[in-house]
Every structure is written in structure tokens, then in C-alpha cells.
A and B are shown apart, each in its own frame.
Chain A
Amino acid sequence: MTNTGKWRDLDKLLSRPGNLVNPGFEPSPELKDDLGEYTKVLVVGAGGLGCELLKDLALSGFTNLHVIDMDTIEVTNLNRQFLFRLQDVGKPKAEVAAKRVMERVSGVNIVPHFCRIEDKDLDFYREFNIIALGLDSIEARSYINSVACSFLEYDSDDKPSEETIKPMVDGGTEGFKGHARVILPGVTPCFECTIWLFPPQVKFPLCTLAETPRTAAHCIEYAHLIKWDEVHSGKAFDADDPEHMQWIYSEVRNWHSSVNMILIVLLFILLTLAILSQALKRAELFGIPGVTYSLTQGVVKNIIPAIASTNAIISAACALEALKIVTACSRIMSNYLTYNGLEGLHTKMTEFVRDKDCLVCGPGILLELETSITLQKFMELVGEHPKLLLSKPSVTYQGKTLYMQAPPVLEEMTRSNLKLPLFDLMDKMSKDVIHVTGMTNKDDKKTSCLRKLRIVFKGVDGITDVDMASGA
């Protein structure tokens, strides 16, 4: 295929005007080149969704991609993580995925990062114009969300300043269901604004598991949470560790003295999941059917079987949104798409609203302060400020506990900070976010609240004197 032929559809989309475009769309043949030259995209996750995302973005004209994933390829990934082959098992997902897409799509450059998302500093994330998430955990989403939102700045009218918005497209799948969403921090709800969308994991009461298991899932949870710990106190269970497997194997041999044993042992070899044996023992004891490999995985690893087509559909939606955000060639989805392919096909777009008091993406309350103000004085100010009126405040700054009202042990540890200048406690940053907890009067009732404050120090320009800070 010639180069012009390859991009024919994209060229049409980007070089012709239309009625459904986003404000600011300027159709031109150069737009596609700019897409490659000026847009740096980070794909988070190189699993089922990540593989699709990388391929889709590369085929949508993005040429400057990075991918980050801490996992290595397992044999069970191969059915849907289509960039990987049998000989890749054991290699880093990010590296193999990057290599495969670069081999197939000419002109694209993908930089892999084989590490945890927490291992990268803020400067790493700052480089990217857009972040695409192909993740399966709430923790990881929440982390990336807080990183992306940390770049967001508000002006003195509490309007987000456009050049600080770090857009995210987020995909998620669970069996035949999935979602795709666009997060423009400061404009659309962030992950934290709508964390309630993620249902909490079902937890069985521990004592039910131990005493009166009624379902197969109970047995598996019991084996996982209690039996393993009884024998290997302190050691984390790893379902992929052959030694852990071996332990189970011998356990089973001790347990079953009858003919049953042969059957069970055969079953174990077939199923090859260590924890299953414990679960089966338990299921048998209480006469519960239905302990299977996939159920065991489902309960222990909290995995719902992944469906390749769901990943493909969700990732296509995400890649298209990324293209729309960057080029404005069409209206951006607003703002949360759900997809269900379980019976027929159902999709729905919901426009969720922001939590205006969101601690992560909200503007917070702007305070302009002198560099000389002590923490003590600052706390008094917080009590008098008409928008705050917080009494008994406790203060935290970027993971540093500056002052705590309670418990006494922390109050004592932080008391010496009270007479120090807040500017020093905030590492001499000219402006930054600080969080304050305290009591406030609402309708004559005392309620506790947690507030985000944007502190700007007067007379300090954007550039901190690093030499002074290090006390030369």
C-alpha cells in the first residue's frame, strides 16, 4: 500500500470542513503532519486494551507514542493480547508490544517503559499531550488521574487554564461490557469525581468462609485468605509460582486417602492453579459443586474472562476520541460511553457532572499569602476567611503532615511546625496546593470538612531560587 493510500481516510477527515466538528477545527493537509510532530501520547498498560490502543493510535496517524507496563507476558495472555507470540512469554509486555507495532506500521516510533507507573516522576508525565489508559485496576486509574490533574492550573476567576489541561482517554472492559470516557481535567469529571461508578468488590464475611461456606466462591476465598496464611504465615501467595503449586500438590496427597485422591490429583494437574486444590478440598467437605479453574481465577485474582472483541471496540472508541481531542475534527464525546455486548448490543452515552469540591480536579480556594506567615498564623487565617471558616484545622502538604489536631501523638510530633513560616514548610514553592481539614458551621451544625487551597506567595516569581533554597 502506498503511503498516500494508507492515510487516505485520515486525510479526508482532517483536510475537509464539516458540520459536526469541534470549535477551533482548522482543516488542512498539514494537520496530519502536526499530529505526528507535536503530539506525544502515553499509553498506560500494554495488556488486552493496551495492545489494541497502541495499534489503533499508530494507525490513526499518531507517530510519537510511549507505552508503560510493569508486567511480563504470560501464556494465558496470548488469546487476546494479539501482539504477543508464544516465544515472547516471559518478556516485558511494553517492549514486545512497542516492537511489534513498529514492525507493522511504518513511520511510528514507540518508546517502551518496563516499570511501574509510580516509578516515573511528574516530569515524565508532563511531557505528554494526552494519556490513554488501558488499565484494569482502580488504584492505577486513580494514580494516573491524580498525576494528570496535578498539572491543572486555575486562574484567579477559578477558570481552568487551557494550556495546563492534560486530557485522558480511559477504557475499561469486563467480559462483554466496557466503557470509554474522556477526562479533560477542570472541564469534565475526573476519575475521582465519579469513583462511585466502580462498584466495590464483593467481599464475603470471613466467618462465613471459615464456618459455613455455601458456594464455591466461599471455598476459594477461604483457601486463599486463611488456609494459605495458616501454613505460610507472612508469605504472599503467588498463583503462578511452581513451588506454591508443589505445596498444594502434596497437601492434596495427604488429604485424600481414598480413590477420590487419584481423580482429584488428575484434575489438579489439568487445572494447574495452586489455590484451587484448597478450594476443592473445602468444597468437597461441604458438598458444594462448581469449583472450577475460571471461577478460582475470578475470585482470587478478581478476573472476569476478557473478550477480545470488547477490547477492540472500547479501544477504537478511545483512539478516536484521542484523535478528536487533538485535531478537533469532530465533537468530543461527552463524556462517558458504556457498551454492553452480552445480549445484542447496547451503548449509551452519559454526561456526568463534575464534583465542584473534588479534591483532585477542583479549583479549591485561592489564598494569597506573605512569605513570612507562620503555620500558626495561616491556621488562624483559615478560621477567619469567609469562604472557609474552618476551626481546629489540620494541615497536609503533598504527603507531608504539617499539623494535626489529633491524635495526641501526632499533635506532639507536628507542634514545632506551628512557628515556622508556611513558605519554608512548602519547600519555598511560589505556588502550590495544600489541604486543610477542620470543623465548619453549616446550618448551625458543626460538620467536618476537607478543603483544597491554592496558595500563592506574594512577591515570589515563578522561578524559585534553587541556590538559595539549598542554603548555599
Chain B
Amino acid sequence: MIRLFKVKEKQREIAENANGRAPVKKQSAGELRLHKDISELNLPKTTTIAFPNGKDDLMNFEVTIRPDEGYYRGGMFVFTFQVSPVYPHEAPKVKCKTKVYHPNIDLEGSVCLNILREDWKPVLNINTIVYGLHHLFTEPNYEDPLNHEAAAVLRDNPKMFESNVRRAMSGGYVGQTHFTRCTC
């Protein structure tokens, strides 16, 4: 290739001042795949999506879930999504921004959802994750607990669990923990 380099060197000298305009930053393959995922989103009607950084940053967005059935009916829960440039090789990082009394979501917003970690596969997409999150609110599951206490109450005393959820959602204490109001 060295002959080519020599030719290029000459061309470069000639072209040096001809056109100084550099193309804009390249899009990563992850961004492109995400663009596809987003353009095909088919969200449940209880769910909305927002792009806080505007239409040109799809890699960071928020999904709001308003469950219309189950323990969490009437609540409003915001999740932040952070998508890596090597998506879908890696799953997006998802956190729950709303403090919630939930067996599978801890008080810092970590979410225990298999497809976000051990069961993530590149064929899955943003839609799958949103449906997965939605499912956590209709079917909270005491077998995969992140919030220990909440899981135990759900298992042993569903009635009490229900009232705890209500109290947390309307902005009150469950045990020592204070929750901010998140009903809509």
C-alpha cells in the first residue's frame, strides 16, 4: 500500500486548503440499532416515553409507567434508560427514578428484571424491556426480591402489602422508610 500512501501524500498537499469542512461525528452501530428500536416502539397505553436531551440524543431517555391494574394502580413510576454505544451487545442500564415500595426494585432504584442482566440477548429490544418493567407492576414477585421486607410482606400478608403500597404511593412511611407521593 505504500505506493498509495505516496500518492495520497501528494494529493493531500494539493487539497490541503481546498475544503476544510470535516464531516460530523460518526454514529455508532449501537445508536443506529437503537434508532430502529425506538422508531418501532409499540408501547402499552399506560406507558409514555420522553427524551430529556431532545430528538438528537436517543441514547438517554425516560419511560413513565402508570399501571391501570394491580397493587400499583394509580401510581406513576419513572425509569431512566442509558444505552451503550455497543447496544445491543450490552443491555441498557435501567434505573427506577421514583422511590417505590416493591419487592423487585430496591430503594436506590436498582431493578431485578432477568432480561436486564443474565437473560439479556441482542435480539431483545427496548419494547421488550418496557413490557418487562410493566409486568413487574402487575405481577410483583416475592421470589426474586431486592427489597427484602416488601417481598416478605407480599408473601405472608398480601392485604398488608396492598395497604403498604397505597401508603407509600400517597407519600408516607412504611416502617422507617419515607416515600414521596407518586399518584397521578
A contact set with B: CB distance below 8 Å: 24, 26, 31, 34-35, 38-39, 121-123, 129, 138-139, 142-143, 146-147, 150, 162-163, 165, 167, 192, 195, 198, 200-201, 203-207, 210-211, 225-226, 229-230, 233, 325-328, 359-360, 394, 396, 398-401, 404-407, 409-410, 413-414, 427, 429, 432, 435, 437, 448, 450, 462-464, 466, 469
Contacts and interface: CB of A to CB of B under 8 A. Distances in A.
B51 interface: yes
B33 interface: yes
Contacts of B22: 121-123
Contacts of A198: 89
Nearest to A192: B29
Contacts of A143: 28, 85
Interface string B11-33: 00000001111111111111111
Contacts of A205: 112, 114, 117-118, 144
The 8 tightest CB contacts between A and B, nearest first, are A394-B39, A207-B144, A203-B117, A207-B112, A437-B36, A206-B112, A38-B5, A413-B55
Given A211-B148, A398-B23, A409-B51, A139 B86 contact: yes
Contacts of A147: 26
Nearest to B58: A401
A203 B118 contact: yes
A225 B109 CA distance: 11
Interface of B: 1-9, 18-33, 35-36, 38-43, 48-51, 54-56, 58, 84-86, 89-91, 104, 106-108, 110-112, 114, 117-118, 120, 144-146, 148
Contact of B2 (A38, A225, A427): A38
A409 B50 contact: yes
| Of listed B19, B42, B50, B117, residue having the most chain A CB within 10 A | B117
A172 B42 CA distance: 40
A207 B26 contact: no
B144 to A, nearest CB: 4
B118 A407 contact: no
A153 to B, nearest CB: 12
Nearest to B9: A38
A399 B27 CA distance: 5
Contact of A326 (B1, B19, B39, B111): B1
Contacts of B91: 203
B60 to A, nearest CB: 13
Nearest to B106: A226
16 contacts: A129-B5, A143-B85, A203-B91, A203-B117, A207-B146, A211-B145, A230-B106, A359-B29, A396-B32, A398-B24, A398-B25, A409-B49, A435-B27, A448-B40, A450-B32, A463-B18
A42 to B, nearest CB: 14
B35 A407 contact: no
Contacts of A39: 2, 5
A448 B123 CA distance: 13
Nearest to A229: B108
Given A138-B86, A400-B56, A204 B117 contact: yes
A464 B19 contact: yes
A154 B15 CA distance: 20
Contact of A31 (B2, B7, B107, B145): B2
B1 A396 contact: no
Contact of A328 (B1, B39, B118): B1
Given A200-B120, A437-B35, A462 B19 contact: yes
B35 A360 contact: no
Contacts of B55: 401, 404, 410, 413-414
| Of listed A207, A410, A413, residue having the most chain B CB within 10 A | A207
Given A122-B26, A143-B28, A450-B32, A466 B19 contact: yes
Given A38-B6, A211-B145, A437-B39, 7 more contacts: A146-B27, A147-B26, A396-B32, A404-B55, A407-B38, A410-B51, A464-B19
B52 to A, nearest CB: 11
